[in-house]
Structure 1
Amino acid sequence: MSNPSVIPIGQPLPGVSFGTAVQRFFRGYVVFSGRASRSEFWWATLFTTLIMLVAQVPFWIAYVALMVETIRLDTTNPNGDPTAIMSAMFAMLGWMIPMLLVALAVVLPSLAVMWRRLQDANFHGAFALLQLISLGIVPLIMCFFPSNPLGVRFDPAYRAQQAAAYAAYGQAYGQQPAGYAQPQGYGLQQGHGQAGPAYGQPYGQQPYGDQPYSGGYPQQSSGPYDQPGQPGA
């Protein structure tokens, strides 16, 4: 069994416990590369939900107190002192500050762990940004998908390995022989870098076998019928 403490952030760790998932949640505060397993994501989501609920409890208590004092002042003593209402209002506003601080503390790692979870399911992590336009339900549903082996393409180590492999391939097969595909003028190449006679020279100067062709028809016989312009005997 793998030791969770030695598994780097960005490498999925399936079957992780709640405590380990929370540790990895904060360790991967700004890690948007790599992947995260479903247990990592959902334990972290449960943790953030719980701490947000705890942070909101005093706020809602102050809010209920404000509503009660407002109703009491309106029904029992319309001309009374609204000091209790003001106290409840300041208490509610005061508890908004720690609630916002907690929200700011978990928003970035929450986005990062969702980003990695989406990539573990072979989706691009940028889908997590849909939360910014009130479409957070879409990436949340996508996080239910199981791990996909193709998601390894988002791992930094895999990308580095692929880049090294392509570089080695280019060095092995990308170098062409000397002179190949290096034009020396139109019609000057024969084979790979071997120059031949220039194209477009006078026709009589083109090589014809071992002898230059000087024009006319080649003389192969000295018979009378081979002499142009003379009748046969």
Structure 2
Amino acid sequence: MSTADDVPLSPTPRSTPRRERERAQSERAALYDVLDASFLCHLAVVVDGVPLALPTVFAVDPAGRDHGGTLYLHGSVASRSLLQAPAQDVSVTFTVLDGLVLARSGFNHSMNYRSAVVVGRPRVVEDPDERLRALDLLVDRVVPGRAATLRRPTRKELAATRLLALPLHEASVKLRRGDPEDEDDDVAAGVWAGVLPLAVRAGEVVTAADAGGLAVPETVRQRAAELRAADGPG
């Protein structure tokens, strides 16, 4: 088993970017940057003969038992995508939109982004200890430290939950940053161009109607402060 840092990105032909290779990243830290900034991923899987790309929540364990670390995918035991995924190779994509690139021509308009693709064959997480750890990681992705403040999952909840684990071994990362890339003649024409930065930011925390009078937990306040201060690369 390898941990995150000693496994290179794009170790196989099918995980090696072929277009715009100058945007491809070689350091595995770039993968974790994208995953850390993402709240959802899209699982691409063939379900009953139909290719689907489905949004789902996820968790990451860089030191997980799978090659290169572990990506956990979570859903209902009735989910057809999670039921059929272990019988095939799948891909999971992540996209962080950092800015709108406004060029001097429609052709050169673009977006600043960070994206990652992980490919491989997932396994069903059956070990009880690994399942509990993965569920805690899922909660802590939303608000770090929150899992420790909650009651433990019930048998009914565990029975209703399906967890898949995908090795992080085969992965690729691409990014775009910076100004528009315009033709010299378009620049000389004197038309404005630039970038409109984008970022996910938190609003004010809203306490549930049936939790009135209770203080907002410190972990939630810290997370809200982090997301209010978030600033993408642009």
Fold shared, TM-score > 0.5 on shorter chain = no
> TM (normalized to structure 2)?
0.17
Higher helix share: 1
Greater relative contact order (CA < 8 Å, ≥ 6 in sequence):
2
Higher percent of residues as strand: 2
